[in-house]
Structure 1
Amino acid sequence: MEKLNKYLTFFIEYLQIEKNYSQLTIVTYEADIKDFFTFIKKEAIDTLQQVTYTDIRLYLTELHKRSFARKTISRKISSLRSFYHFLMREKHVAENPFSLVSLPKKEQKIPQFLFEEELEKLFTISDIATPLGQRNQAILEVLYGTGIRVSECCGIRLEDLDFSVGTVLVNGKGGKQRYVPFGSYAHEALEQYIASGREILMAKLKQTEKHSYLFVNNRGGALTVGGIQYILNELIKKTSTIVHIHPHMFRHTFATHLLNEGADMRSVQELLGHEHLSSTQIYTHVTKDHLKRIYMTHHPRA
């Protein structure tokens, strides 16, 4: 078991240094691999070289018995496949038994998005005469106007904004950066918030606690993902048109509305910061439904 843990340590270092994965991703990899180590120990398998395709089938059976979702099983197998691929590269094993395993098909969930009338209602709720109202309005405009992730929104600093060309530098997953444009509504909301609301909120901090994060809480500290979720929930309570909302819904809405208006898939992929086009293609399911509704409503022989 000591040698197994040594291999795992090498792999974790590889993920941190060469792949530059986030700490959360690394923790997930580590948990998945340790779970497999527990299984092979129970099966009296002493080394990773001894693992066969048959052993993996037994492991899959055990995962199903433990009532793991297909998505979780796929992730675990993917983690172990990557682990063995690394071990092969480093010449610790001769082959990758996980390369023979096909991953369970993931359940394709259609992204939830907001309709334009729902968005319009949300955009009229904040009291922009107050610092928090200005901040909330700016958050809504940025989330919908850029399609960035909420974690990326929390990470924006003042120096990341370029009002002269209307872009924001976004720090995405895996430390990857991209420039994302924002429109006139976001531009106006941001300028008002930075010049007025943010200054008032930041005044509550001591000089030694000053920072350059764009979005702050009511005490002047940097806003968190949970903080944005709370803000959105509070805004929802003030409207009867929307029952539930989660921060990622703005990202889904951004992509769906762009595609509905004729934007090409590659451009939307770049704006969202998706590494693979397949991640963006899920939004075509929504746009197909949209086109079908238009056809059924307007075509004489529908």
Structure 2
Amino acid sequence: MIESFVRRLRVEKGYSPHTCRAYDHDLREFFACLAEEKGADEAGAGAVTPRRIRGYLGLLHKKNTKRTIARKLAALRSFFDFLAEQEMVDTNPAMRVQTPKQEKTIPGYLTVDDAFRLLDAIETDSLAGKRDRAMFETLYSSGVRVSELVGMNWFDLDADQRLVRVSGKGGRDRVVPIGRKGISAVTAYREALWREKVVALDQDGPLFLNRFGGRLTARSVGRILEKRFRECGIPLPVSPHGLRHSFASHMLDAGADLRALQEMLGHRKLSTTQRYTHIGIDTLMAAYDKAHPRK
């Protein structure tokens, strides 16, 4: 039933492979823990109670963050909803278990000066340098997720209109603007690939390639970014997601509309966009001085 459930997530719901793997692991871990505690005869779905789920979550608190625990509980809720639809259980026991209260954290992000410092420090006298400059210019100027970045193909890019089509979470496509710096860097990288006879200019395929000519992975992008941080001397590197957060913060600080930013980031809920943005104290003070009648 776990296999059927995960297949449904992938095929019908359009969940990413990463999410499907996580849900599959979480469910198998739960039932393995249940079998170890109660014995195989008592480890079936019909024997699961809210109390058993709470006991399992209590064990997780020793080694997992609240965010991870919340994800594992979400996997159980979705799975038991699926079983209820199949009439294999009468009720969903996970619905009677409260989600752990989440810590409100602000993702790491760069100042505008540090973002420029990072990008300008990437030398472009090699193919790898041209790729990395193009990759991080694109990430910072469009605000896409790293999974969306590595999933881009050459034909997804409209250089004349400065737009790129990305496939987001749940298979939802959207079109986002990309800055002139990003377009220029991507074009230079593509022309270098053509000169070295790696690709033809009219050939579709992955936009960013690894040294073997295949598509880069999100993990590789993270490692490359860490290396570039060390080279430019910024002491506190951020993840590729931090560049996305930097994009959102800098756009908002410069006066971008929050709803437009929501569309560019591909968020379903405006509250998610608000969580990913950061307003500096200078921006807050300027807004206060401009708007308050008794300042």
TM-score w.r.t. the length of structure 1 is 0.83
Give runs of aligned pairs for residues 277-292 of structure 1, distance below 5 A: 277-284=270-277, 286-287=278-279, 289=281, 291-292=283-284
- Residue type at the aligned position of 2:161: V
Look up the match of 1:222. Answer: 215
Give runs of aligned pairs for residues 174-193 of structure 1, distance below 5 A: 174-193=170-189
Cα offsets for 1:111-154 (capped at 9, x unmatched): 11111111222232233344333322212210111011222212
Taking structure 1 as reference, are residues 69 and 119 closer, same or farther at Cα in structure 2, changes over 3 Å only? closer
From 234, 254, 260, the equivalent of 2:247 is 254
Taking structure 1 as reference, are residues 222 and 13 closer, same or farther at Cα in structure 2, changes over 3 Å only? closer
- Residue type at the aligned position of 2:263: E
- Any conservation in 2 of the 1:88–1:95 contact (CA below 8 Å)? yes
> After alignment, is 233-242 or 170-179 more displaced?
233-242
How many residue pairs align between the two structures?
Answer: 288
Look up the match of 2:146. Answer: 150
Structure 1 residue 185: Cα displacement: 1.6
Aligned alpha-carbon RMSD (Å): 2.9
Structure 1 residue 227: Cα displacement: 3.4
| Structure 1 portions without partners, runs of 5+ | 1-6
Look up the match of 2:193. Answer: 198
Is 2:38 the partner of 1:43? yes
- Any conservation in 1 of the 2:127–2:193 contact (CA below 8 Å)? yes
Cα offsets for 1:88-110 (capped at 9, x unmatched): 12221111121111100111211
Taking structure 1 as reference, are residues 190 and 56 closer, same or farther at Cα in structure 2, changes over 3 Å only? closer
- Any conservation in 1 of the 2:122–2:132 contact (CA below 8 Å)? yes
Taking structure 1 as reference, are residues 232 and 56 closer, same or farther at Cα in structure 2, changes over 3 Å only? closer
Is 2:26 the partner of 1:32? yes
Look up the match of 2:135. Answer: 139
Give runs of aligned pairs for residues 1-302 of structure 1, distance below 5 A: 7-41=1-35, 42-43=37-38, 45=42, 47-64=44-61, 66-195=62-191, 197-201=192-196, 203=197, 212-284=205-277, 286-287=278-279, 289=281, 291-292=283-284
Rounded to whole Å, the distance in 2 between the matches of 1:114 and 1:272 is: 17
SS in 1 for 2:279: helix
- Any conservation in 2 of the 1:135–1:198 contact (CA below 8 Å)? no
- Residue type at the aligned position of 1:280: T
Identity among equivalent pairs (%): 35
Rounded to whole Å, the distance in 2 between the matches of 1:33 and 1:24 is: 14
Structure 1 residue 292: Cα displacement: 4.3
Taking structure 1 as reference, are residues 56 and 159 closer, same or farther at Cα in structure 2, changes over 3 Å only? same
